[in-house]
């Protein structure tokens, strides 16, 4: 492999990315790695920097569409156990960037810590959630984040405190290459009451969104004071299809990929929805879904 001598056990070439994303679409990564622990991750990022290989970090692929041609450079996943640890420390949950957000939420609830239960049902990793400030209408992950440890593309590790963090709607100042760990500082409450609240949020969300289909999260951000889903429906676009990509009948801000769908179908449908909402309602929708 040359470029990645010494990393033969972790680096693969031409890994198909479709199976690593919720859409199950898209081409391969030129290089792909699941490092075993932070030391190996830091060494690998250092090698990529030295060799001028661009690096992307993949979470669970629930807010991502990979283009059919795939991506150049290195794609790294944080799936090894050391990246997914979740601990409770007083009124805080301290978890790795590769931890599943859902597990961090249920851990908090079982320990009688409130704040995150409104986020139940949001898929993906804690790192992904922090990267895009995942949330619902009841709140977002950023408001509970007291500290984050990051790794930069140049190989530096440092910790950012709450006063250096800035979260707004689906936007986060945590833009370093990797979020290694975060401390979520929560409030105390009764675990049974919290469990009931969490279940209620889960049921409401399940009823409104096309979960279990081949799709990602919401495609567009909500414009201020409006719901993108409602606007897309108002523009008459529910059920609109390009190839195997369809605007969900259940919630118009979701695109469902049917068998034979390609990433290009989804990309063309996103453009069509954007343009039609603009032409019919005069509103410019901004994309939330990440595209590689």
CA 188-194-196 angle, to 5 degrees, is 170
The minimum distance between CB 16 and ligand EPU, in angstroms, equals 24
Counting contacts by CB under 6 A, is residue 263 touching ligand EPU?
no
Task: Please identify, using beta-carbon distances, which residue of 27 and 210 lies nearer to ligand EPU.
Answer: 210
The length of the chain is 292
> Please, what is the minimum distance in Å from the beta carbon of residue 172 to ligand EPU?
13
Verify binding: residue 229, ligand EPU, rule CB under 6 A: yes
Residue among 252, 266, 269, 273 that touches ligand EPU (CB under 6 A): 252
Nearest CA among 184, 93, 86, 74 for reference residue 134: 184
Q: Is 60 in the site for ligand EPU (CB under 6 A)?
A: no
21 binds ligand EPU (CB under 6 A): no
CB of 76 or CB of 285, closer to ligand EPU? 285
Task: State which residue, 111 or 238, has the beta carbon closest to ligand EPU.
Answer: 238
Count of CB atoms situated within 10 Å of the CB of 48: 24
Rounded to whole angstroms, the Cα distance separating 29 from 282 reads 38
- If you search the block for the tokens 């992307």, which residue do you land on? 56
Which residues on neighbouring strands pair with residue 183, listed in sequence order?
94, 147
Confirm if 201 and 102 have CB atoms less than 8 A apart.
no
Q: Measured between alpha carbons, how far is residue 192 from residues 108, 111, 169, 196, 226 in Å?
A: 12, 10, 30, 6, 34
Among residues 67 and 201, whose Cβ is nearest to ligand EPU? 201
- Unique residue bearing structure tokens 């199950």: 24
* Part of the chain binding ligand EPU (CB under 6 A), chosen from 20-28, 109-117, 250-258, 277-285: 250-258
Helices (H), the chain: 38-50, 101-110, 126-131, 191-208, 228-234, 263-281
Which CB, 30 or 106, lies closer to ligand EPU? 106
DSSP H or E run through 99: none
State whether the Cα torsion 105-109-111-113 is positive or negative: positive
| 133 is a contact residue toward ligand EPU (CB under 6 A) | no
Q: What binding mask, one character per residue, do residues 170-209 give for ligand EPU by CB under 6 A, x or -?
A: -----------------------------------x--x-
Q: Is 1 a binder of ligand EPU (CB under 6 A)?
A: no
Helix (H, G, I), strand (E, B) or coil at 191: helix
Among 54, 233, 241, 290, binds ligand EPU (CB under 6 A): 233
- State yes or no: residue 137 binds ligand EPU (CB under 6 A): yes
Identify which of residues 228 and 242 has a Cβ nearer to ligand EPU in the complex: 228
In angstroms, what is the minimal distance from the CB of 109 to ligand EPU? 18
Beta strands 71-77 and 55-58, pairing class: parallel
Binding site for ligand EPU (CB under 6 A): 136-137, 205, 208, 217-218, 221-222, 227-230, 233, 251-253, 288
């Amino acid at each position: 492999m040359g470029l990645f001598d010494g990393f033969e056990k972790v680096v693969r070439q031409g890994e198909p990315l479709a199976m690593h994303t919720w859409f199950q679409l898209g081409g391969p990564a030129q290089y792909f790695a699941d490092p075993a622990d932070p030391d190996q991750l830091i060494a690998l990022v250092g090698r990529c920097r030295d060799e001028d290989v661009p690096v992307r970090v993949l979470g669970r692929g629930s807010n991502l569409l990979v283009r059919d041609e795939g991506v150049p450079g290195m794609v790294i996943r944080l799936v090894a156990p050391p990246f997914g640890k979740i601990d409770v420390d007083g009124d805080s949950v301290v978890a790795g960037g590769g931890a599943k957000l859902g597990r961090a939420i249920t851990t908090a609830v079982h320990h009688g810590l409130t704040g995150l239960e409104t986020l139940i049902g949001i898929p993906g990793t804690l790192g992904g959630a922090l990267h895009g400030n995942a949330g619902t209408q009841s709140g977002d992950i950023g408001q509970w984040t007291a500290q984050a440890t990051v790794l930069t593309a140049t190989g530096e590790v440092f910790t950012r405190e709450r006063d250096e963090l800035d979260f707004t709607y689906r936007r986060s100042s945590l833009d370093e290459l990797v979020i290694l760990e975060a401390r979520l500082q929560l409030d105390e409450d009764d675990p049974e009451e919290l469990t009931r609240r969490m279940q209620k949020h889960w049921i409401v969300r399940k009823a409104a969104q096309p979960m279990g289909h081949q799709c990602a999260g919401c495609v567009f951000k909500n414009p201020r004071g409006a719901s993108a889903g409602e606007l897309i429906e108002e523009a008459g676009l529910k059920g609109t299809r390009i190839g195997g990509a369809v605007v969900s009948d259940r919630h118009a801000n979701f695109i469902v990929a049917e068998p034979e769908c390609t990433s290009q179908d989804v990309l063309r449908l996103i453009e069509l929805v954007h343009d039609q909402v603009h032409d019919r309602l005069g509103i410019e929708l901004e994309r939330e879904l990440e595209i590689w």
